[in-house]
Amino acid sequence: MKINKRTLFPFLVILFIFFGSFFAPNDPLEVNLPLRFANPSSKYLLGNDSMGRCVLSRILYGGKTTLFMVMTASIIVFTLGLLLGTLTSKVTMKKNVIVDSIINAVTAIPPIAYLIIFIASWGNGIKTTLIALVVSYILRFLRLVRTQINIEYDKAYCTCMISLGASKTRLVLVHILPNILLDLVHYICLSCADMILAITGFSFIGIGLGENVVEWGSMILEARDSIFIKPELIIYPIFAVFITTMSFNIIAKEANRR
């Protein structure tokens, strides 16, 4: 999928949010109580929160935290899911009821259940949340890869290639994967948007990344108590979540269109 005029803007939005911390004007953790709920100024362009911290810097650092986790989880999910999905497809093994049953059972469990289990075992934090995201999304992606490969494998062109002596490795790498790649990109982009909402939701209910980690969900949680005093404090992180998830959805839609 090439970057065109439909995907350029969302791509630039995601790129800016990922590297936005380099443009942060202040330390996002610096407390300045005399500036509690201060209005925007030349030094604090979006004002200050209930602890006098720079809202703009926290938005930018929160985006970096969220997108770092999302990108890391997505790369792991895509790599391992593609490998395991190929190894458990018709190309390498016959239909396996046990494998199908395990995948269906594990994917039926919502991501928050994995997070609760891992937090009970290891405590909350970035590592725990990342593992929960990978575990909950990798099997869904694996199932998609298996299904798409099996569909392509049953088509006439694969039968012709096999009859001509093509190896299974060549069949998968040269013929099948290029035909299903955009479907996989479509799913990964949708999963990225879903992961952002999941991370934000986890932090909002207090079981996410832990204390002293700047993240949009924790900003929304903190701003909830001052919504009638300073409503923009809750609007800023919500808008950041909205524009980022929308960007991933636009890219996913473009991949699906092609």
Burial zone of 154 (CB within 10 Å; 0-12 exposed, 13-18 middle, 19+ buried): exposed
For residues 27-36, give the mean pLDDT. Answer: 89
Query: Into how many domains does the chain fold?
Result: 1
Neighbours of 125 (CB within 10 A): 16
Task: Give the least confident one: 3-7, 163-167, 170-174.
Answer: 3-7
Residue 28 near residue 61, CB atoms below 8 Å: yes
Residue 148's domain comprises 5-257
Please choose, from the candidates 31, 13, 29, the residue with its C-alpha nearest in 3D space to the C-alpha of residue 61.
Answer: 29
DSSP secondary structure string for all residues of 70-84: HHHHHHHHHHHHHHH
Q: Residue 236 corresponds to which tokens in the numbers above?
A: 């800023």
Q: Which pLDDT tens digit goes with each residue over 217-253?
A: 889 988 888 888 889 999 999 999 999 999 999 998 8
Any residues with CB less than 8 A from the CB of 255 and at least 6 apart, and which? 1, 182, 183, 185, 186, 189
Burial zone of 33 (CB within 10 Å; 0-12 exposed, 13-18 middle, 19+ buried): exposed
Q: Which CATH number covers residue 92?
A: 1.10.3720.10
Dihedral (Cα; 12, 15, 16, 20), 10-degree rounding: 180
pLDDT of 1: 54
Q: Which pLDDT tens digit goes with each residue over 148-163?
A: 888 888 788 877 877 8
CA separation (Å) from 90 to 101, 107, 224, 243?
16, 20, 51, 40
Residue 204 near residue 218, CB atoms below 8 Å: yes
pLDDT of 92: 64
